[in-house]
Amino acid sequence: MSVRTEVPETRVKTPKRRRTLPPLLVHALAALGALAVIVLLTLVTDEFTNLRIATIGYYLIAVAGLTLLTGLTGQVSLGHGAFMFIGAYTVALLVRRVPSFPLWADLLLASVAGGLAGLLAGAAAARLRGPYLAGATLALAVGLPALTRKFPDFLGGSNGLSFTVHSRPAGVGVPELRWQTWIVWLSVLLALVLVVNIVRGRLGRDFRAVRDDEVAAALSGIAVGRTKILAFLVSAVCGGLAGGLQAFLLGTAAPGSFTPALSLSLLAAVVLGGLGSLWGALWGAVALVYFQAWSEDLADVLHLNTDVANNLPLAVYGVILIVVVLAFPRGIQGGFHRLGVLLRRSANQKENHEKH
């Protein structure tokens, strides 16, 4: 006679999955928090500082677009200022010739115009790399501003196009410049939400794969040429928006604002902030604005002549760029990351020492 024993069933408790918010919502909430910080900063600072904060905003989206192109796909562009030129003149022409268009439509069309130019440039440069790609994009930055002298009646010649945008609603008791700063940062943060989702999504992984090894990326099924063109497209859209915001803020679009030096400065800001890092784009934009401001203040204190004073900001920026690259090869953001690692390591060592 066999005795049958029943083993009681044991239920294995599976850990509950933590509910996480969709990435797009997380990034949108972060952008909302950043906008609140910007509003508070503008409320406690004067108008001149508000102008600098707004300038950091449109430089940020321009540097972020170039970071995506150069840092994530490895395509070195020396012509990003050309896309800003297209965006600025698109806004200027729309305001002067189609004043019934709302501001958001002007900025959207400026982004589209920059994107179309980037699509054409990306298609032409898809088979180029290294110095050949850099030279082709530099030619774009040199050639486009020259069109203003070719068509002075349409583009205003060397003086550019001046205009006025009344973006502040009637009855709002906020200074015009402060209101413009809010508009600039609202536009920039909305664009950054889209850029961050692209960088952290499948397309961003394709960008990095192409940067690391084009042959391996092609063997894994990634269309290398199309991916490069898409990177140019997204980057140029950011550049067009940056140029449109600059024109909106300053009320003018002039070729002197979009010289090849601007494109070189944007690329230097990418390297200075941290190649391939969107946080680095922020530090690079801050550096672009404040290093130039401090250099101008230094020139005033030293009573330098006009020629030296005009070139001093570039010299100071170049020296700082060399120092930062030598000290932190991964830029300012890389330096912050390295400092955080050292602090965590020191804290862990201290905790282990206390336990023993």
Alpha-carbon distance 168 to 206, whole Å?
Answer: 41
Between the alpha carbon of residue 112 and those of residues 84, 118, 255, the distances in Å are 12, 10, 20
Q: Which of 89, 278, 93 is nearest to 195 (CA)?
A: 278
Please give the pLDDT value at position 2: 47
Phi, psi of 144 (to 5 degrees): -65, -50
**Angle of helix 47-66 versus helix 23-43 axis, rounded to 10:** 150
**Angle of helix 131-143 versus helix 103-125 axis, rounded to 10:** 140
Sequence-ordered list of residues with C-beta below 8 angstroms from that of 178, at least 6 positions apart, any chain: 42, 43, 47, 50
Task: State which amino acid sits at residue 287.
Answer: A
The reported pTM is: 0.87
Q: Which of 89, 108, 106 is nearest to 98 (CA)?
A: 106
Alpha-carbon distance 207 to 121, whole Å?
Answer: 17
CB-CB contact of 317 with 268 (8 Å): yes
Please give the pLDDT value at position 183: 94
For the chain, which ranges sit under pLDDT 50? 1-3, 7
Query: What residues form DSSP beta bridges with 253?
Result: 161
Please give the pLDDT value at position 95: 93
CB-CB contact of 198 with 72 (8 Å): no
Query: What residues form DSSP beta bridges with 162?
Result: 252
